[in-house]
Structure 1
């Protein structure tokens, strides 16, 4: 249940208990008349109460976090009126006689035996005041009952009370007494005690952070502090008995505002006490009211009072101990000898036990008279705790909970498409692939000054800027990733109510899916949205317009950056940590990512960044200069020593590893490790090697093995390679092919995929060879990983000398051809045995999955063959008319497309075809038939890709049937058509020049234009949007909004970010066409006002107006940018004259014809008639009334 829902539930529940009585007459106002302000008139919030209401007690629930501070609005007659919700809650506070309005008499309290010390001059104290005083006096006297003396309380409590009083006076008061005894003496008089405590509370309220500062603080605790502050304002102003306990609450809130300085169990107890304090204060007033006491039960009353006093003593004792302990750590060591400072769970249990004892006795006392009332009150008290949330709930629990909550379908789909990986799972995998996280190896960082400043969300430093960017840097292998995991684990374990949100990502250079800035940003946003779902509003509209292309196209990072920055500027954003590990492994877009980090620090003070990398990363920018703090991961030796000790403790149980051997091994490792965790891990892993009899290294040989290992990672890797080369028989060859495949692969490989790429013998399990590859590789969850980025760096640098003399290009060629061999033996029609209309989103792969071992091959085989444009001799030979690649595609092209559709990678197939075509066209004498086939294949996929992607088996149905009769694919593969297809007539013979139809507009397209480089097409529609398209793939890139109608303007946008830059005004009628000059510096616009205007794209300045005799609907610049081509002739830009003919070749659409230099070329069927046209070189783009855009390439 949400906080809002729970609040409404509690409010309605309370009204059920007290609603009838409250409805009889409104409760008394909480405001006292003051000078210059008249009380409100009789009415809804009148200060006058009926007699029945004046004597009827009401218990008050806690105000909700969101409505905690009672705000007041000025009424028409000048009086201040409480916030309606706050009034509903606060009006029900039971009033002690001493705090009634002046119109109400005070009842005498002489009957109460606890009030015998009150003198004639002293004000009459309420029962609650007397009970709090009795509890305080008992503690000040060291505990005056038998139970206290049995526990030895009297030995420490006197000291504790004096320490507490002294600390309160020091912390809350500007005029603290230096003598604890004199302060304690002042509090011996009960009336002076109230006055003194109220003064301390007022001064304590001033110490609590202002709302503007609190809202910059830590998560839900900020609202919690505001809530409690509002309770103090109301309670102390209207319930004098609250002063004594709330003085300690003021300090408790200061502790909660900086939770990093207290223990989690203590924080839990403080939150429990603070949030229930108003319930405790009103409890006795409600319970001991005279008109609620039945004469027949009067003998039980003293026992009930004793229970309340016991509860109040436990509460005061917990407050005293918390305050003294906290400020002991802050330098106010007034009490240093008290034992058991840190047994907070036991202390909190004493409070909850006292509550339980009281409720049990109350149950017996009130069972006959108020059973239903008591039950409701107990439930409400429990609900109040629920409003805060379980203080022990961790951030990880919170994230897990959010994952299970059902969201709106569109939001859920958006988040699902946004997800790259779950960073939590990535962190678990990294931990398992490395060694166990050793506490002592990372906890040191938690005690550094840099980390303390980083986790302090309140800038208390008198000089300098707050630390908002903590950079953990160090050379390879120094444990940066494990440090990051340790910090993330530590932040995740903090109570969710007292800590910011946390979003993180681990860059991994060996995985192309995880080594780019877009993947980083997608994952950070994904985790952020799980924790703060409301922020998805800044992303959803873009997703609705663009679909998953928003996250995948070449402008994805820029589009997501805009949404991300809008999220950071959202006023509802809760404070959040962003953590990114291994920035140096972000191989694509690192500079853009650093710019985004820098920009975020200027947008809001609710974000902090924790990043790690090697020192070579340029993280210092003008925007980060004031917030960046560096932390050297290699600064201490103790963490590495702790890691060494941990690793050696594992060896203790092995044969021969006695104390002497372990000490010798430890000394050798420390000598050579040079404070490098990875060196330690790799060196000690050598002791886990097995001989031919599968026996582990005996302890007696361990020291000599370590001595043979050189210092330095590169030298150690070289040592490991020598060991591999000394292996038995063909083991060195197999190990090297495995290492080649792992290093050159574009993502981590499964064991079955590795067996294919390394061409391992059928009888050899790949795991066996992986184990023989020294410590270069590790296996987790059936996937093989390089042990560390430094291992990949070493193998890349020494590839030719250590792995393959023929070089990297030959290695890629080998992987490509092995992939083709494997696909040829596995691929077939309907490999998953599906129905003809089955969609990939519904697919659950069969077990065993026939595609499992060739998944990588299906997607990446062409990338390997086209490495460096296929320059290796082996590639050139295979990419010809007689090569095996052409043979494979002729026989299994449709099978391959089906597999790509099943894997969700059909778009990769289009790119693969284009790369192969580029290479085939570069050697026309050897590959004419192969190039022709690839052109046909490209047409086939572009024309039918939409249906193939949605229904894989329609590759053999619709795609084959509606391909031209002369299509090479159709002729080669016609035998593969679905069984219900016999023959088809009326199909055209050749592919049309029409390449693609781009669909997305909801109204007719009024104008289209190419970018200067021809790579992007913009289409404007009567739906008041402009859409950008990738001309190579037809993919929708983004939607630009801004036009309100045919508003006679031209608007310029940044195509990378979608940001509106400027509006060009000057036309007196609607704009019909626009065109960019080849250099992109000039924009031409034509309008129904019979003019063509020229604009400077950089400044928006108007250059020239060209008058024409008709409304021009099509414009294009000449190749040199000196003239404008229209279907009516050529416009000279310099002089503004028009000529009826042109010597420059230009394509135009005139009515239903495509013409070139006034020559008719092609008739457009009715379905392809254009409402707008754009031309780039030999490509014509047509906008249609349907809202679609098509374009065709012509040879002229």
Structure 2
């Protein structure tokens, strides 16, 4: 182009319109210099509009508004084709998939997934190369230059052009879900990667990655990983999806679990099945489908570790040990051919224990669950903390740094941080995602027996054998105040649900209530006759439960003597936890967990462990999806989690 192809006024107008948005300038350059059209003067005019530059008040220019106008002009230019309706339809399918899919797909795989030719997809992208980077070959994924374009085409208040607004409507999600099921139907089978030898671990198979890539192309891998995510957004009761889900569950679910092992994604299997089970229940699907999905979740919780290590052990060890009266075994028992057969001494139905989390080398003293119910932390006398994925039962990280036993762990309300207290008198803060240490809080002169975050995550309370309670700034780690008054070791601290009060329990048989902001005492709850091992507020904050050496007591959280005295098989309890609705209370001691009616004090049920523990089992409240869970042992039984010696159990309450 000649040097004088544009005027200084036009250049100045472009600069002013861009404000401080680099993406505006970069998009303008790509659009004006589009080598498909070679019409820079015409494209410059489209950006600047028809209004004379002299009449435009550049001080009134709003850069983000100008960016939206620019995007609309780019989209309008793409309609220069003789069939604008066809262009809009292809835009919805191609660009809609690029935006709405959970993971980018290479060009060839994207074309297969949306059932279009590579040429058609490439043609759509060529019209939009000012905002989307077209791939250089079929094995590269198209990429959107800047998230502002995605924000624009997915926001109805910004994108007013008919046919170009992308929304995750059920129709789109239905299309993606059905396509996932179809791709899995075409690709999945037993021993899909041709490993043949079930004695081999995945890591020991020669040419493993090449075998998997050949058997499961990128679009099939995507379908395996994300069908559950798409399904969860489909309209409840969609008959086409119901039919496809039923066929998948009756024919391919074990093949899919095998494939997920090959893809290194076993940790996501339980969450996908859980989403499918929720949808199936809400859609009132056939009972056999609902039962099969529930069985599949139990199956993966029971056998995740072995299946993660060896894909073919779905059939050779996991399935043979599946209870024989379950729907899953009855539908898939034919897959046990050429593997061991268990003829007796096997449960007919799933046991109460959902999963065992094993890995500590010494007693587990505390467990805590993240607020979203997806992550569990366990602290042990082996000086370590372990992080677990609740949905799969898999160990995700081991945190080391304490020099003595870990006595307490607690997640921050947002789940991003973890605090741990130890017999080494310190409190450590960790990144709960990566496990990276963040800081160490020092000041206590005795073992830190309990730590607790305030509901807003701003404060951290710690209880110590030095007779004190300390309040810390949870972000900076700065000590805010020291709460003194107890004459014995402080075993437990707990914030009220509204964050206004802090309760502490001690070996001096007293429970103190403190103003959580000022650190001043409010009242002292008397009536206990022994060491207060654990205290916890009810979810509504109106009750306080405490365990001492001989009983569990329920208090009005403001004052007065205990309103209910709980006695039973767990005569002395070391740990207590309320159910999510506050109607039940669980307490643990010596391998037993007793469930009580929190209103009347009537015993409801007892959960027994075959593990002998000389101290109580730590309990924590777990909320995972629609399940209400009480946790202890890293064994989680049916609809609730339960811990004892060196394992964590989830168990039905």
Distance in 2 between the 1:773 and 1:909 partners? 37
Structure 2 residue 14 is matched with structure 1 residue 674:
yes
| Greater fraction of residues in helix | 1
Q: Encode CA deviations 1:83-102: one digit per residue, 9 max, x unaligned.
A: xxxxxxxxxxxxxxxxxxxx
Q: What aligned pairs does 1:653-668 form with structure 2 within 5 A after superposition? A: none
Q: Identify the residue that residue 855 of structure 1 maps to in structure 2.
A: 221
SS in 2 for 1:992: coil
Structure 2 residue 299 is matched with structure 1 residue 934:
no
Q: Identify the residue that residue 888 of structure 1 maps to in structure 2.
A: 248
| Aligned counterpart for 1:785 among listed residues 132, 138, 143 | 143
Are the aligned partners of 2:463 and 2:491 in contact in 1 as well (CA < 8 Å)? no
Distance in 1 between the 2:311 and 2:103 partners? 25
Tell me: CA distance 1:1104–1:795, structure 2 relative to 1, closer, same or farther (3 Å): same
What RMSD, in angstroms, separates the aligned Cα atoms of the two structures?
4.4
| Aligned counterpart for 1:972 among listed residues 322, 331, 334 | 331
Q: Identify the residue that residue 355 of structure 2 maps to in structure 1.
A: 996
Distance in 2 between the 1:1166 and 1:804 partners? 59
Once the two structures are TM-superposed, the CA of residue 683 in structure 1 deviates from its matched residue by 3.1
Are the aligned partners of 2:249 and 2:293 in contact in 1 as well (CA < 8 Å)? no
> How high is the TM-score relative to the length of structure 1?
0.38
Q: Identify the residue that residue 650 of structure 2 maps to in structure 1.
A: 1191
| Aligned counterpart for 2:629 among listed residues 1144, 1155, 1179 | 1179
Q: Identify the residue that residue 183 of structure 2 maps to in structure 1.
A: 822
Distance in 2 between the 1:1098 and 1:921 partners? 45
| Aligned counterpart for 2:192 among listed residues 810, 821, 831 | 831
Tell me: CA distance 1:906–1:1014, structure 2 relative to 1, closer, same or farther (3 Å): closer
Are the aligned partners of 1:717 and 1:791 in contact in 2 as well (CA < 8 Å)? no
Q: Identify the residue that residue 982 of structure 1 maps to in structure 2.
A: 341
Distance in 1 between the 2:146 and 2:583 partners? 59
Structure 2 residue 259 is matched with structure 1 residue 902:
no
Q: Identify the residue that residue 795 of structure 1 maps to in structure 2.
A: 153
Once the two structures are TM-superposed, the CA of residue 749 in structure 1 deviates from its matched residue by 2.0
Are the aligned partners of 1:1025 and 1:1039 in contact in 2 as well (CA < 8 Å)? no
Q: Identify the residue that residue 103 of structure 2 maps to in structure 1.
A: 747
Once the two structures are TM-superposed, the CA of residue 1089 in structure 1 deviates from its matched residue by 5.2
SS in 2 for 1:996: strand
Structure 2 residue 227 is matched with structure 1 residue 844:
no
Tell me: CA distance 1:922–1:1012, structure 2 relative to 1, closer, same or farther (3 Å): same
Larger radius of gyration: 1
Once the two structures are TM-superposed, the CA of residue 852 in structure 1 deviates from its matched residue by 2.4
Once the two structures are TM-superposed, the CA of residue 817 in structure 1 deviates from its matched residue by 1.6
SS in 1 for 2:261: helix
Q: Encode CA deviations 1:161-182: one digit per residue, 9 max, x unaligned.
A: xxxxxxxxxxxxxxxxxxxxxx
Distance in 2 between the 1:670 and 1:1023 partners? 71
Q: What aligned pairs does 1:191-202 form with structure 2 within 5 A after superposition? A: none
Distance in 2 between the 1:716 and 1:1013 partners? 43
SS in 1 for 2:630: strand
SS in 1 for 2:32: helix
Tell me: CA distance 1:751–1:1014, structure 2 relative to 1, closer, same or farther (3 Å): closer
Distance in 1 between the 2:186 and 2:604 partners? 51
Q: Identify the residue that residue 33 of structure 2 maps to in structure 1.
A: 684
Tell me: CA distance 1:965–1:1124, structure 2 relative to 1, closer, same or farther (3 Å): same
- Gaps in structure 1 of 5+ consecutive residues: 1-647, 649-661, 690-696
Distance in 2 between the 1:742 and 1:1013 partners? 28
Q: Identify the residue that residue 1040 of structure 1 maps to in structure 2.
A: 420
Structure 2 residue 135 is matched with structure 1 residue 714:
no
Q: Encode CA deviations 1:199-256: one digit per residue, 9 max, x unaligned.
A: xxxxxxxxxxxxxxxxxxxxxxxxxxxxxxxxxxxxxxxxxxxxxxxxxxxxxxxxxx
Distance in 1 between the 2:5 and 2:331 partners? 68
| Aligned counterpart for 2:585 among listed residues 1135, 1138, 1146 | 1146
SS in 1 for 2:102: coil
Are the aligned partners of 1:1024 and 1:1044 in contact in 2 as well (CA < 8 Å)? no
Distance in 2 between the 1:1091 and 1:970 partners? 54
Once the two structures are TM-superposed, the CA of residue 826 in structure 1 deviates from its matched residue by 0.9
Once the two structures are TM-superposed, the CA of residue 1079 in structure 1 deviates from its matched residue by 4.1
Once the two structures are TM-superposed, the CA of residue 839 in structure 1 deviates from its matched residue by 2.9
SS in 2 for 1:831: coil
Tell me: CA distance 1:974–1:1112, structure 2 relative to 1, closer, same or farther (3 Å): farther
Distance in 2 between the 1:979 and 1:725 partners? 61
Tell me: CA distance 1:758–1:913, structure 2 relative to 1, closer, same or farther (3 Å): same
Once the two structures are TM-superposed, the CA of residue 754 in structure 1 deviates from its matched residue by 0.7
Tell me: CA distance 1:772–1:1122, structure 2 relative to 1, closer, same or farther (3 Å): closer
Are the aligned partners of 2:451 and 2:463 in contact in 1 as well (CA < 8 Å)? yes
Are the aligned partners of 2:361 and 2:382 in contact in 1 as well (CA < 8 Å)? yes
Distance in 1 between the 2:257 and 2:70 partners? 44
SS in 1 for 2:631: strand
Tell me: CA distance 1:896–1:745, structure 2 relative to 1, closer, same or farther (3 Å): same
Distance in 1 between the 2:240 and 2:347 partners? 33
SS in 1 for 2:28: helix
Q: What aligned pairs does 1:256-655 form with structure 2 within 5 A after superposition? A: 648=1
Q: Identify the residue that residue 961 of structure 1 maps to in structure 2.
A: 320
- Gaps in structure 2 of 5+ consecutive residues: 16-24, 49-68, 398-410, 412-417, 426-444, 468-485, 568-581, 597-601, 623-627, 634-642
> How high is the TM-score relative to the length of structure 2?
0.65
Q: Encode CA deviations 1:974-994: one digit per residue, 9 max, x unaligned.
A: 323362323443221222332
Are the aligned partners of 1:1004 and 1:1187 in contact in 2 as well (CA < 8 Å)? yes
Once the two structures are TM-superposed, the CA of residue 679 in structure 1 deviates from its matched residue by 1.9
Once the two structures are TM-superposed, the CA of residue 1094 in structure 1 deviates from its matched residue by 4.5
Distance in 2 between the 1:795 and 1:1186 partners? 54
SS in 2 for 1:986: coil
Distance in 2 between the 1:1039 and 1:1000 partners? 20
Distance in 1 between the 2:266 and 2:281 partners? 23
Distance in 2 between the 1:1033 and 1:1171 partners? 26
Are the aligned partners of 2:353 and 2:651 in contact in 1 as well (CA < 8 Å)? yes
Tell me: CA distance 1:930–1:1166, structure 2 relative to 1, closer, same or farther (3 Å): same
Structure 2 residue 545 is matched with structure 1 residue 1124:
yes
Distance in 2 between the 1:988 and 1:857 partners? 34
| Greater fraction of residues in strand | 2
Are the aligned partners of 1:830 and 1:953 in contact in 2 as well (CA < 8 Å)? yes
Q: Identify the residue that residue 1164 of structure 1 maps to in structure 2.
A: 608
Q: Identify the residue that residue 1155 of structure 1 maps to in structure 2.
A: 594
